Amino acid sequence: MTMMVNTANMVSMTEANQNFSKIAHMVDASGSVVIMKNNAPKYVLIEYKQVEEEAVASDEEVMAVTERLMHKNMEALKVLAKRKY
């Protein structure tokens, strides 16, 4: 999964703990917030809807690859389908 992160929306762990509603509003406004721990990016807060959308996109990518492989290997798949196991 590739996600663009807005570096302007970086907050410390302390700020996230003390002002969670403010951080949630930042996510609503910008899509994501990076929570820093010990001056390094540690967590990304995003809307749940975005997670669901990423999962669907991932499934679509898998289907596209599967279809491409099936088309490329159709003759071998036909031979395998005729075998009795």
Q: Which helix (H) or strand (E) holds 12?
A: strand 10-12
SS3 content of the chain, % helix, strand, coil (to 5): 65, 20, 20
> In terms of Cα–Cα distance, which of 58, 55, 60 is closest to 46?
55
Read off the pLDDT band of 5 (50, 70, 90). Answer: low
**What per-residue confidence (pLDDT) applies to 4?**
61
The pTM score is 0.58
Read off the pLDDT band of 41 (50, 70, 90). Answer: very high
User: Which CATH architecture best describes the domain 7-46?
Assistant: 3-Layer(aba) Sandwich (3.40)
Residue 83 vs residue 13, higher pLDDT: 13
Q: What is residue 7's DSSP assignment?
A: G
What distance in Å separates the CA atoms of residue 7 and residue 35, rounded to the nearest whole number?
10
